[in-house]
């Protein structure tokens, strides 16, 4: 879907998980510990991985300069790090916010955990992640909302309904 609109999808979580598994990574064990505890990985690590992925994408094809960054920024530190590193290099057009009830999220992640192999797909880690979200991420969503940049999707709906809403947003935003 995102490629149709010219976006390259970058998942902060996937980049962190890939780096954690990369042989010889200086950050691997550190990343694993943060993820397992449901905490936010230090911004310098996440931004360096995002910037590297963006630079690689654009050096392969200069026309690929629109990115959907999934799962970032997660807190004030992330936002400040992004602004400091990417000021004048990247603009945030909008934030796509999937809003969903905590218990629905936990249930879906526990179901995913049956086959994902992710160390954080268990109730204890998920409850820690929700606490971290409420304390650290929600204020960032609220900030972007005050700037008029949040596009909200009710993610408790069916996959098809959520997809349709996302298509409508991208049709409008381009």
Which CATH number covers residue 58?
Answer: 3.40.50.300
In this structure, the answer to whether residues 27 and 112 fall within a common structural domain is no
**Count of structural domains, the chain:** 2
Domain end residue (candidates: 92, 120, 135): 92
**CA–CA separation, 140 and 51 (whole Å):** 20
Q: What confidence score (pLDDT) does residue 56 get?
A: 96
In this structure, the answer to whether residues 67 and 140 fall within a common structural domain is no
Q: What confidence score (pLDDT) does residue 66 get?
A: 94
Residue 95: φ, ψ to 5°:
-110, 125
Q: What confidence score (pLDDT) does residue 120 get?
A: 85
In this structure, the answer to whether residues 115 and 165 fall within a common structural domain is yes
In this structure, the answer to whether residues 87 and 100 fall within a common structural domain is no
Residue 158 structure tokens: 């069916």
Q: Quote the longest CA-to-CA distance of the chain.
A: 44
In this structure, the answer to whether residues 36 and 73 fall within a common structural domain is yes
Note down the domain range covering 153. Answer: 95-173
Q: Are 69 and 12 in contact (CB under 8 A)?
A: yes
In this structure, the answer to whether residues 88 and 101 fall within a common structural domain is no
Beta-strand runs (E) in the chain: 7-11, 66-70, 95-99, 150-154
In this structure, the answer to whether residues 102 and 44 fall within a common structural domain is no
In this structure, the answer to whether residues 50 and 87 fall within a common structural domain is yes
Domain end residue (candidates: 64, 92, 120): 92
Q: What confidence score (pLDDT) does residue 30 get?
A: 93
In this structure, the answer to whether residues 87 and 9 fall within a common structural domain is yes
Q: What confidence score (pLDDT) does residue 119 get?
A: 83
Rounded to whole angstroms, what are the CA distances from 108 to 12, 40, 49, 96, 101? 20, 21, 27, 19, 11
Q: What pLDDT tens digit does each residue of the chain (174 aa) get?
A: 778 899 999 999 999 999 999 999 999 999 999 988 888 899 999 999 999 999 999 999 998 999 999 999 999 999 999 999 998 889 999 999 999 999 999 999 999 999 998 888 999 999 998 998 999 999 999 999 999 999 999 999 999 999 999 999 999 997
In this structure, the answer to whether residues 30 and 88 fall within a common structural domain is yes
Q: 63 exposed, middle or buried (CB, 10 Å; 0-12, 13-18, 19+)?
A: exposed
Domain end residue (candidates: 61, 92, 123): 92
The label of the residue with tokens 């979580």 reads 13
């Amino acid at each position: 879907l995102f490629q149709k609109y010219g976006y390259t999808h970058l998942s902060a979580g996937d980049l962190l998980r890939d780096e954690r598994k990369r042989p010889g990574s200086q950050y691997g064990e550190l990343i694993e510990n943060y993820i397992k505890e449901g905490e936010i990985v230090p911004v310098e690590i996440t931004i360096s991985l995002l910037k590297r992925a963006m630079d690689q994408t654009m050096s392969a094809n200069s026309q690929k300069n629109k990115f959907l960054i999934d799962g970032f920024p997660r807190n004030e530190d992330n936002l400040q790090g992004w602004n400091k590193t990417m000021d004048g290099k990247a603009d945030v057009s909008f934030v796509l916010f999937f809003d969903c009830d905590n218990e629905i999220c936990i249930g879906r992640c526990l179901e995913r955990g049956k086959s994902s192999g992710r160390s954080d797909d268990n109730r204890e880690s998920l409850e820690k992640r929700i606490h971290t979200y409420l304390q650290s991420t929600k204020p960032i969503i609220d900030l972007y909302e005050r700037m008029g940049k949040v596009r909200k999707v009710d993610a408790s709906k069916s996959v098809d309904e959520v997809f349709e809403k996302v298509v409508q947003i991208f049709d409008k935003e381009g």
